A and B are shown apart, each in its own frame.
Chain A
């Protein structure tokens, strides 16, 4: 396991991964060596900074390595190569075990089960962190489980189990909070409450990392996005930066009614025609360019019912970052090949 160093410098990121690698060992039994294992998929050559008070969205398709990276950040999986530097306090730590003191980890889909009560289950985890019972009470209140604290785990709904997982992740007052697919099983009300909670924690200086394959859900929540595919970080930055780099920014959708001839109407306006659907009763036009000018021009000859910026979805981000078609990406998600994939426009220009 790699060690890490601690020092207090506010301008620096809380956690810095440099050329970090962890690849899963896969059994490849052969006749002379039935125990043979080889390196399989995982995370390779990862360089990533986690900042205090910042919500980072870790986005990628199934098998991209999101959970593996989360586990590396949580100190569960050791680094096989590279380093991680942590700056949490003035105390210096020598072992990666110390990372766990400062990181709260909420894994994906924990099946809390058994005859234990909610409170007992949380206390059992709290014992491993020496968490005072007052803090446990506070957390149950925070996640809305205080009235259910004497309920047996077997009787909890999936949403309540998710809330309990969040409470468990917050037990140690973490400086970095890792949330793996936190929206799974949450109803819209709970999801909104959860979003507010994450924002509140971030405002208190907690660095939050959320993994998801649903970019739209993260849109209103994250400050930065990290695009992960086949174990590699394709791009990272705030959403606007990434969209701009991948040529996905400045896109709008205008919806309206009435017969229009888009080509002639917008002939004098600089824009890129991306999509047009519908007929004179109802149409939807997607373009990249000067939104205001296009909007005025269309309003002059038709009724515009709505207009909005178009946020990129995961597929678009991945296609743009890899230069691959969606069919190719979806087909090779299960691949264990670890090939350099970074083909963003910026690099091509270079």
Chain B
């Protein structure tokens, strides 16, 4: 079942529309950030392949996660509105298995093209910097990107279980994406203000620690924490085990919630 969902989405019109965005955001950013002449705000210059991949991960946060939501937002609501959901729920395949197939099918549909483009990113970095990232760095990069795509797929499918029509499904999915991608900085700022911490002072250890801790509550933040485990120069007060624990929570909780929603799903 997951294979059929994956193939339908992989060769569907939506991915064709989103592919230029992904190409622009992933290899495009890798090309830009690996420029030997690049000077980032604050005078910083990426000097290692992992640093380039870290900065290029903005393309994953802004582009790939949005594509994950746009591929999955109607994963269940479309079948509900067409009547297909009733046929599926009447099959002997347990609902938990159906939920797992839905998750894996939709996740693979976005993960496969993203992984293909990430391999291109690695080649670009090698070409521009004459250096490969280490095996561990590459594995963490690929694994954490796979995880963030999974989280947004889960959010979109969860929204889809509740949505009675497509508009609600897309609003919910994009809303969650927008909240964590653009509005999370506002949440961080508000919490800092309420705690009496100076806002935006990158040299203030209190602000850095607060931002690091709050990032554990956001999937994008956890993604960056995971990548930062391979950046020895970055320390935001979150250890590797805390980042991986956060990742496990962001994976298990929505997965479990989706299984629960599927168990009680009504056509």
Mark A residues whose CB is within 8 Å of B.
24, 71, 74-77, 97-98, 100-101, 103-105, 107-116, 120, 124-125, 127-129, 165, 168, 172
Contact = CB atoms under 8 A, between A and B. Distances in A.
B92 interface: yes
Contact of A100 (B1, B4, B91): B91
B92 A107 contact: no
Contacts of A108: 83
Contact of A127 (B4, B83, B89): B4
A76 B267 contact: yes
A100 B90 contact: yes
A184 to B, nearest CB: 12
B91 A110 contact: no
B126 interface: no
B4 A105 contact: no
A111 B90 contact: no
A111 B82 CA distance: 5
Contacts of A120: 4
Contacts of A168: 87
A128 B91 CA distance: 6
Given A76-B267, A110-B82, A172 B92 contact: yes
Interface in B86-100: 86-94, 98
B257 to A, nearest CB: 16
B8 A107 contact: no
Interface in B238-267: 266-267
B206 to A, nearest CB: 38
Given A71-B267, A128-B1, A97 B84 contact: no
A100 to B, nearest CB: 4
Nearest to B84: A110
Contact of B8 (A24, A110, A114): A114
14 contacts: A76-B266, A100-B90, A107-B86, A107-B267, A111-B81, A111-B82, A111-B83, A116-B8, A124-B4, A125-B87, A125-B88, A127-B1, A165-B87, A168-B87
Contact of B92 (A100, A110, A112): A100
Tell which of A109, A110, A128 has the most Cβ of chain B within 10 Å.
A128
Interface in B1-40: 1, 4, 8, 12
For A120, A125, A165, A172, the residue with the greatest tally of chain B CB atoms inside 10 Å of its CB is A125
Nearest to B86: A107
B151 to A, nearest CB: 25
A168 B88 CA distance: 10
A113 B86 CA distance: 15
Q: Which of B83, B91, B94, B266 has the largest number of chain A CB atoms within 10 A?
A: B91
A97 B87 contact: no
A101 B92 contact: yes
A35 B266 CA distance: 17
Residue from B1, B8, B84 having most chain A Cβ neighbours under 10 A:
B84
A71 B8 contact: no
Please give me the 10 A-B residue pairs with the lowest Cβ-Cβ distance, nearest first. A110-B83, A128-B91, A105-B90, A128-B93, A107-B86, A100-B92, A111-B82, A101-B92, A74-B90, A76-B89
Nearest to B263: A1
B90 A112 contact: no
Given A100-B92, A105-B90, A125-B91, A112 B82 contact: yes
Contacts of B92: 97-98, 100-101, 128-129, 172
Nearest to B4: A124
B88 A128 contact: yes
B134 to A, nearest CB: 41
A98 B224 CA distance: 45
Contacts of B90: 74-76, 100, 103-105, 107
Nearest to B89: A76
Nearest to A161: B83
Given A105-B87, A107-B86, A111-B83, 18 more contacts: A71-B86, A74-B90, A75-B90, A76-B86, A76-B89, A76-B90, A76-B267, A97-B92, A97-B94, A100-B91, A100-B92, A104-B90, A107-B87, A107-B90, A108-B83, A110-B86, A111-B81, A120-B4
